[in-house]
């Protein structure tokens, strides 16, 4: 104790009693105050919402978020790019060119049929087929990985 007086004389002069204490006569009327407080809280409590509102609330929030995204995306596009939406809403009747027809036929042909057509010499147009045209066809329709796999076999 004497060491504390030497090290910190002001600290040693402080009384050693707990700084916190209960006010006088606090527990004498505690039950009455608790009861009145509970009664007032019961009166203030809101009525529970109906079950339908609790079930519809998440769905309404989801619908509102979809509407918000629609308004934030579609309307600016509609106002700033009116031609873009007009192009995407073209009628179902579109003009089919010969090139589209040939491309759709070529897409349906498998590799064996294609090579059989190349080896067939009865058509005059096929005789005009050269290596450069073959290279351009292969490079445009196959990836380098597919070509590598075919050369490995």
Q: Give the start-to-end residue ranges of the domains of the chain.
A: 51-88, 98-152
pTM comes to 0.26
Residues 45, 51, 52, 53: is their CA dihedral positive or negative? Answer: positive
- What are the residue ranges of helices labelled H in 81-97? 82-88
pLDDT in tens, the chain (153 residues): 678 778 888 877 887 788 788 888 888 888 999 999 988 888 766 666 678 888 889 999 999 999 999 888 887 887 777 776 665 555 555 677 888 887 887 777 877 777 777 776 555 554 566 888 888 888 888 888 888 888 865
d(CA 4, CA 13): 10
Q: In terms of C-beta density within 10 A (0-12 exposed, 13-18 middle, 19 or more buried), how is residue 12 classed?
A: middle
Q: How many CA atoms, within 13 angstroms, populate the side-chain half-sphere of residue 9? A: 1
């Amino acid at each position: 104790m004497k060491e504390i007086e030497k090290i910190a004389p002001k600290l040693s002069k402080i009384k050693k009693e707990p700084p916190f204490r209960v006010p006088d006569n606090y527990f004498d009327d505690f039950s009455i105050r608790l009861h009145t407080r509970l009664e007032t809280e019961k009166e203030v409590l809101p009525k529970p919402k109906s079950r339908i509102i609790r079930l519809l609330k998440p769905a309404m929030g989801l619908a509102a978020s979809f509407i918000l995204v629609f308004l934030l995306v579609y309307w600016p596009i509609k106002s700033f790019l009116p031609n873009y939406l007009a192009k995407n809403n073209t009628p179902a009747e579109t003009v089919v060119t010969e090139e589209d027809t040939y491309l759709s036929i070529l897409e349906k042909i498998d590799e064996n049929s294609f090579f059989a057509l190349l080896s067939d010499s009865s058509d005059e147009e096929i005789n005009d087929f050269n290596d450069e045209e073959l290279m351009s066809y292969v490079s445009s329709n196959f990836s380098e990985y597919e070509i590598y796999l075919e050369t490995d076999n």
